A and B are shown apart, each in its own frame.
Chain A
Amino acid sequence: MIADLALQGVQMALVLLLAPLLTGFVRTLKARLLRRRGPPLLQPYRDLWRLLGKEAIVADSASWLFRAAPYLVFAATWVAAALVPTYATGLIFSWSGDLIAITALLGLARFAQTLAGLDVGTSFGAIGTSRELMIASMAEPAMIMIAFIVSLVAGSTQLSAIAAVMLTYEIGLRVSLAMALIALIIVALAENARIPVDNPATHLELTMVHEAMVLEYSGRHLAMIDLASSVKLLLYASLLACLFAPLGLAPLGSGLAAHLVGLAAYGAKVTGIGVMLAVFETSIAKMRVFRVPGFLGAALMLGFLGTILLFVSRSL
């Protein structure tokens, strides 16, 4: 019991501590790929620290919701992240929520974030909200279809259980899983406001989505939102690793050696995903806003197609 709790605590702390590092890593790597020097690897930590120290400026027309939203966004994102196994399965907290609950918790974070974008009453906040709602209403069903696929394969929506099934190699090669992987990558790009859906580095008024919503934030509020964004990126990286590359995950009740192996494997997996993300983002251009539904629609269709194929092949 105590050990389980400790394991859960360690994983949650790990996610929180590692998240800005992944963001910084991707940023630095992207800069290097463009032959720039780029910010130092630890810059996100410094940014957070700097923001925390500043006073928060709140617009006159803002309500309590505007000030509460950053904490709610952070809490929902971190709780969702606590449900995703990072380097070991069998999290004690993981039975209180499954893949659907993770999707819904991220939906809760988005609900708070989009409302905060509308709260001050500016057109920039609303343009971000409006676009985010469009993106989310395509990405969320795609995510649920992915949950369909993996749960049909693994017989459970619980991430620890899915990872355990995926580790056994009994499922063989399945085209539906490949479809789910592609769909999840598309969803992850959209949800984390990455190129080609959104550009995390832009502050050009007409193209920004996520940045437009948080335009009015400053100080500690902005720090919470930035931290939540980093945690979300790491969450999706962990999710991809846990679902489609569970190799090296320390199973429930294993010894210290297995945990060390799991940690090393997790580090390698997250690094690999970061490298792929940076390469992908530097090699592709941002889409027009109204091309995004087609892109996400493709993810939704992939999920649907994969589900139908699974429904069929299960009964052969």
Chain B
Amino acid sequence: MHGLAFDIAHMLAGFLVLTSFMMLYQDRLSALINALAIQAAVLGASVAWQAVIQEAPHLYITALLALVFKAVVIPMALRRIIRQLGIHREIETVGGTGLTMLAGIGLVALALQVVLPVTAGSDAVAREDIALALSVVLLGLLMMVTRRNAVSQVVGFMSLENGIVLAATGARGMPLVVEISVAFSVLIAFIVVGIFLFRIRERFDTVDVQALDRFRGERR
């Protein structure tokens, strides 16, 4: 019942979820950023494939944006930040990686359980994409919640945004303006966070966000 179009879209979206899990599994910053780059590349491919099957040429621009900015520019910038700040390479997690991944699987199950029954009757590709996109968003959030390091929180945010883009392209008829504005808002957010990181570092001599808690008096 499904053609090759569905298969490839399904596979790319699934790979996106897989790369989210790869990020959760990493305990080194450089590997984490590599995983983010891979995810962005997969996202680019996925969006490009949507452009093909939806015959919507403007999606190629979105794909290109994803590929250039998220897969190349942002990872490079993040690596630069790490080098300049001399951040400790290992990521401290709240709870072990195993528990986080287990929670992640629970979130995926939840996303599927929520999305698939309510979208019954609509296009199979869109359903699949939205369900998996929600999973990617939730996994990105999970990443932000469970990591203590500010850089990995940024990475979690980027991954969350990837999920939003996937959902946006999966639904037909999303105008180009929206996507470009989303992409730029993310870029701005990235710049802000980058500056923020430097500021934290200057002030507290660490990028562990626990330092901020301590500053506010919320000592654990």
Contact = CB atoms under 8 A, between A and B. Distances in A.
Decide if A and B touch, CB cutoff 8 A.
yes
B18 interface: yes
A298 B2 contact: no
Nearest to A308: B109
Interface stretch (A73-81, A95-103, A174-182, A249-257): A174-182
B15 A178 contact: yes
A175 B128 contact: no
Nearest to A177: B11
Contact of B7 (A172, A298, A302, A305): A172
B102 interface: yes
B18 A297 contact: no
Contacts of A308: 105, 108-109, 112
Contacts of A174: 7, 10-11
Contacts of A175: 10-11, 13-15, 17-18
A313 B112 CA distance: 10
A315 B58 CA distance: 32
Contacts of B108: 305, 308
B112 A173 contact: no
B7 A312 contact: no
A172 B2 contact: yes
Name the interface size band of chain B: 20 to 34
A309 interface: yes
Nearest to A304: B105
A283 to B, nearest CB: 15
Given A172-B2, A312-B116, A301 B21 contact: yes
Contacts, number: 65
B147 interface: no
A316 B15 contact: no
Contacts of B97: 294, 297
Most chain A beta-carbon contacts within 10 A, residue among B14, B108, B127, B131: B14
B101 interface: yes
B112 A312 contact: yes
Interface in A286-316: 293-294, 297-298, 301-302, 304-305, 308-309, 312-313, 316
B192 interface: no
21 contacts: A172-B4, A173-B8, A174-B7, A175-B10, A175-B13, A175-B17, A178-B18, A293-B98, A298-B21, A298-B101, A301-B101, A304-B105, A305-B17, A305-B18, A305-B105, A309-B14, A309-B17, A313-B10, A316-B116, A316-B124, A316-B128
Interface of B: 2, 4, 7-8, 10-11, 13-15, 17-18, 21, 25, 96-98, 101-102, 104-105, 108-109, 112, 116, 124, 127-128, 131
Given A175-B18, A305-B105, 17 more contacts: A173-B10, A174-B10, A174-B11, A178-B15, A179-B14, A294-B98, A297-B97, A297-B98, A297-B101, A298-B21, A304-B105, A305-B21, A308-B109, A309-B14, A312-B116, A312-B131, A316-B127
A-B CB proximity, top 10 nearest: A175-B14, A172-B7, A173-B7, A175-B11, A173-B11, A316-B124, A297-B98, A301-B101, A312-B112, A298-B25
